[in-house]
Amino acid sequence: MPKILTIVIPAYKVEVVINRALMSLDYQYGKDFNVLIVDDGSPKPIKKIIHSWIERYPSIIKVVRKKNGNWGSVINCAAAHVNTRFLKVLDADDTFNFFELSKTIDYLKNMDKDVDLVLSSFYFVLDLKQNKVIYRRITHKSSIVYTSFDRFKTNHILTHHAIYFNTKFLQDRLHLEENFRFSDNILLYRAILFSKKIALLPKNSFLYEYHIGIPQQQSSLEQMIHYYHDAQKTFNIISQIKVHANISNQRKKTLFIILKAMYYLSLILIALNKNIYLWQKKINFRIINKYINQAKINGYEDFLKKSSISVFNSLGHRPTLTISKIAFKLIRVGFIRIVKDGDRLMKNKKLIY
């Protein structure tokens, strides 16, 4: 019987953490899954770092080495090498819940054939706070639910940690831009836009453990601040993806939340990187207007125009931005809180954290 799942681990300078990720997998179910580690041009080849794992599980773990091109290029490379029905990304600084893997595989084996995406709940693990865990629940149902993004509502902005991709859907519709960070947001945006049928795993399915608070990890606030220009580039790309007018308002709203979250994140990272106040930074309003003209999202056109102007030109008070408070917002409640705070604070013509 062919395997059902490939776990893809992007790897670049991850020698400190990758063994922890590999230890979190339950290899007694290796007959049902593969592990594909994509070495994104690490200075020290990953194959040398994990050679003992490869020797122990040669039929499960494979390594592909490529020229550095960041996260998007890793996903493109993985899609070209994977031949299982589903693909799941496990970042090298994260882990799986060891006891959940077999149950998740059983769910995937019995999944409807035409499912594009499978969504699951996951954990945030705050490494710098004694492994405090925060859960991000996707559904409250006790069995698998089939739906689409035209009907699915969530209080959270989705991330790739919650998603299993149908490999063919990924190969056919979700090719990513390369050589910059934050491309996981582009992947998510396109997945929501193009998917037809999605499945929600039961409420207590918590396989993924998203670790936060490791200074070296690419998703740390320090790293994001350094690469703020990549956040801007990601926002620009997302804003120019055409959204067809015939999709539902619910799907449009889900897409818009991702766009808006990237917009606010870009503003925050610019301010933190440059150590300046937000009104001192100029923005190309044509990007905003181009998105508005393409997406035609009812009820949001005026907001986007007003928000662009008010953030930069109509601040009534000097904003104060501290890394600790912004980091708390990113970690504790996710981008959706930043979006809500941004809306509220812009309405008051100030941006204070």
pTM of the model: 0.80
**Average pLDDT by stretches of 10, the chain with 353 residues:** 95 92 94 97 95 96 97 97 98 94 96 96 74 76 94 80 97 96 93 96 93 65 73 83 79 79 68 48 43 40 42 35 41 45 46 28
Runs of H (alpha helix) within the chain: 18-23, 46-49, 51-56, 70-81, 101-109, 167-173, 183-194, 221-226, 228-239, 249-274, 285-295, 301-313, 323-332, 335-347
Give the pLDDT score at 213: 66
**CB-CB contact of 108 with 86 (8 Å):** yes
Give the pLDDT score at 283: 41
Q: Which of 247, 267, 249, 281 is nearest to 339 (CA)?
A: 267
Paired residues of 125 in beta bridges: 133, 211
CA distance 95 to 175: 25
**CB-CB contact of 200 with 252 (8 Å):** no
Render 219-276 in DSSP notation, one character per residue. TSHHHHHHTHHHHHHHHHHHHTS---TTS-HHHHHHHHHHHHHHHHHHHHHHHHHHT-
Give the pLDDT score at 270: 63
Give the pLDDT score at 6: 98
**Residue 161 per-residue DSSP state:** G
Q: Which of 351, 189, 337 is nearest to 258 (CA)?
A: 189
Give the pLDDT score at 83: 96
Give the pLDDT score at 231: 81
CA distance 165 to 118: 7
